[in-house]
Amino acid sequence: MAETWLASDVERLIDSLGQLPEPVVKPAFIVVSGLPGTGKSYFCGKLAERLHFVILESDVLRRALFPSPRYGPTESRRLFQAIHLLIEGLLKRGMSLILDATNLSERYREHLYSIADHLDVRLILVKVEAPPDVVRGRLKVRQEDPQRKSDADWGVYQKMRSSVEKIWRNHYVVDTSWDITPVLDKIVRAVRR
């Protein structure tokens, strides 16, 4: 029974992605981590302009499955089970991906590492950060935007801040309150190596 809804969820997520790029022989998988308002989606968008990867934005995918999201543990578990299967399926088809999600827990990131290791795809990890005062300003502006993709506000940021865990694998760190070009350049070079 659970497999039925999971397959259906994955199909809904695939349908929400629109036109996919041409497959490549050796896809790469970029996992972006960071608190709400740190600039993950902005960074992922700039990266995708240069690499033409598929961006899997957890906030957008959540709304594809749950038009009125509640952000509870059951909903999140169901969403990320579907996202993990989606990632695996797209990588097997030769699609290079960027996962744009908070990814704050090493325990949850381990599953992503496992997918990349199992499929032997290049895994690139990026931690996105910004000073709290910058984040607070961004979240305030975002809350006033009717087209916003995320419902996270300053209270959510503060609550999640205590759950950030160290990334134990090699990773890039980018502060989006500064020029992000040097980190973009490094990641593009790493992908093309």
Indicate if the pLDDT at residue 190 is higher than 50: yes
User: What pLDDT, on a 0 to 100 scale, did the predictor assign at position 59?
Assistant: 94
d(CA 157, CA 164): 11
Residue 98 inside a domain? The answer is yes
Indicate if the pLDDT at residue 108 is higher than 50: yes
Supply 100's token pair: 């744009």
Residue 13 inside a domain? The answer is no
Stretch 167-179: mean pLDDT:
97
Nearest to 30 by CA among 112, 133, 152, 138: 112
User: What pLDDT, on a 0 to 100 scale, did the predictor assign at position 1?
Assistant: 47
Residue 17 inside a domain? The answer is no
User: What pLDDT, on a 0 to 100 scale, did the predictor assign at position 37?
Assistant: 95
How confident is the model over 3-60, as pLDDT tens digits? Answer: 678 999 999 999 999 999 999 999 999 999 999 999 999 999 999 999 989 999 999 9
Stretch 95-122: mean pLDDT:
96
Query: 105 falls in which pLDDT band (50, 70, 90)?
Result: very high
User: What pLDDT, on a 0 to 100 scale, did the predictor assign at position 3?
Assistant: 67
The 3-class secondary structure across the chain, one letter per residue, is: CHHHHHHHHHHHHHHHCCCCCCCCCCCEEEEEECCCCCCHHHHHHHHHHHHCCEEEEHHHHHHHHCCCCCCCHHHHHHHHHHHHHHHHHHHHCCCCEEEECCCCCHHHHHHHHHHHHHHCCEEEEEEEECCHHHHHHHHHHHHCCCCCCCCCCHHHHHHHHCCCCCCCCCCEEEECCCCCHHHHHHHHHHHHC
Supply 16's token pair: 């929400």
User: What pLDDT, on a 0 to 100 scale, did the predictor assign at position 107?
Assistant: 93
Residue 145 inside a domain? The answer is yes
Please answer whether residues 51 and 145 qualify as being in contact, where contact means their C-beta atoms are separated by less than 8 angstroms: no
Q: What is the total count of domains within the chain?
A: 1
pTM for this prediction: 0.94
Residue 16 inside a domain? The answer is no
Q: What is the CATH number of the domain that holds 45?
A: 3.40.50.300
Residue 59 inside a domain? The answer is yes
Residue 18 inside a domain? The answer is no
User: What pLDDT, on a 0 to 100 scale, did the predictor assign at position 131?
Assistant: 98
How confident is the model over 114-147, as pLDDT tens digits? Answer: 999 999 999 999 999 999 999 999 999 988 877 7
Indicate if the pLDDT at residue 184 is higher than 60: yes
How confident is the model over 63-82, as pLDDT tens digits? Answer: 999 998 888 889 999 999 99
- What domain range includes position 111? 2-8+27-192
